[in-house]
Amino acid sequence: MKAAVYYETGSPDVLRYEDVPDPEPGDDQILIKVEAISIEGGDTLNRLQGDLAYVPHIVGYQSAGTVIDCGSGVRDFAAGDHVVAVGLDGSHAEMRVVPENFAWRVPEGLNIQAAACVPIPFGTAHDCLFEFGRLQPGEAALIHAGAGGVGIAAIQMAKRAGALVLSTASTDEKLERLKDLGLDEGINYLTHDFAAETRRLTGGRGADVIVDSVGGRTLQKSLEALAYRGRCITVGDAGRSEAEPLDISGLRPNNQSLGGYFLGAELFLGSRAYALVGQLLEETARGDLRVVIDRVFPLSEAAAAHAYIESRRAFGRVLLVP
């Protein structure tokens, strides 16, 4: 099969389009003919500086396609099923294998490209807001990187939950487009201090829940933007800046909290998150939640697709198609 691989980490130009051996499913695994690959933020970070579990390495968390073979222990899937699946790596290829409990059937009415965009960003957004952020109607939610996958999902979910929805982005144009998805107030982080703007837009209170997918120094500023009893959930390092020591001295006197989130751990350790992703796929199929796809590249142009994402021009998901 063909795959986008690399032999060392680095900039997008380390990616090569090459022949690699076809994968074979283990007892509890399904083999998928990949039809759509959603490039996740973690994919670009892993390509930049992640561990190489094997060489040549095939990066990628999330993809969708058709089951073409199953291991002897698989009970819930059969050849011909349309599925979306996640894994630690392997999405940037014409075929991949995943354990059956990391795959979901694509609901009727949901096209394969949209399905490829749902599990990680939508599951992450929902858990950050509600399971860990405990967002309530009437509260204010600040969502960083609103034009990204988690951001677009979180804006929709926070709005339908009855929250005041704030979000950051790098351009006024992106912020304007986000209003159609439920954004109430946008903050251009290049031209404004988002912590000060958050307080201004909330009458001095700050945000009750903050979903911070940027990390680095942004995370410190997020703590400054929290309301009394506010909850900040850190979920990524999209800013690609080095982690910095955090001053958490303000949390205790304001009864605030800082939590971390990783969807993979929830999927590994229990069935709750698996059921949640299935529910979110159904809601997307019904049109209750929207997927936004910016551009689709052929798998052979994976390097160009990664470079496009890192240019910060994308609004929504960037896909690869084998």
pLDDT number for residue 237: 83
Q: Do 108 and 171 share a domain, yes or no?
A: no
Any domain includes 148: yes
pLDDT number for residue 137: 98
Q: How far is CA 62 from CA 72, 109, 152, 195, in A?
A: 24, 20, 17, 33
Any domain includes 16: yes
pLDDT number for residue 245: 87
pLDDT number for residue 241: 61
pLDDT number for residue 109: 95
Q: What does the pLDDT look like over 152-183, one tens digit per residue? A: 999 999 999 999 999 999 999 999 999 999 99
Any domain includes 132: yes
* Phi, psi at 267, each rounded to 5°: -70, -35
Q: Do 131 and 244 share a domain, yes or no?
A: yes
Q: What does the pLDDT look like over 251-291, one tens digit per residue? A: 999 999 999 999 999 999 989 999 999 999 999 999 999 99
What is the SS3 string spanning 98-139?
EEHHHEEECCCCCCHHHHCCCHHHHHHHHHHHHHCCCCCCCC
Q: Do 155 and 49 share a domain, yes or no?
A: no
The range of the structural domain enclosing residue 197 comes to: 120-264
Q: What does the pLDDT look like over 125-136, one tens digit per residue? A: 999 999 999 999
pLDDT number for residue 236: 85
Number of domains in the chain: 2
pLDDT number for residue 240: 58
pLDDT number for residue 239: 58
| Sites in the chain below the pLDDT cut of 50 | none
Any domain includes 185: yes
Q: Do 258 and 208 share a domain, yes or no?
A: yes
Any domain includes 223: yes
pTM recorded for the entire structure: 0.96
Q: Do 113 and 126 share a domain, yes or no?
A: no
Q: Do 110 and 146 share a domain, yes or no?
A: no
Q: Do 134 and 189 share a domain, yes or no?
A: yes
Q: Do 145 and 84 share a domain, yes or no?
A: no
- Close Cβ partners of 162 (under 8 Å, ≥ 6 residues apart): 137, 138
Q: Do 217 and 251 share a domain, yes or no?
A: yes
pLDDT number for residue 244: 74
Q: Do 216 and 248 share a domain, yes or no?
A: yes
Any domain includes 284: no
Domain containing residue 151: CATH number: 3.40.50.720
Domain containing residue 27: CATH number: 3.90.180.10
Any domain includes 198: yes
Any domain includes 219: yes
Q: Do 166 and 302 share a domain, yes or no?
A: no
Q: Do 125 and 90 share a domain, yes or no?
A: no
pLDDT number for residue 114: 98
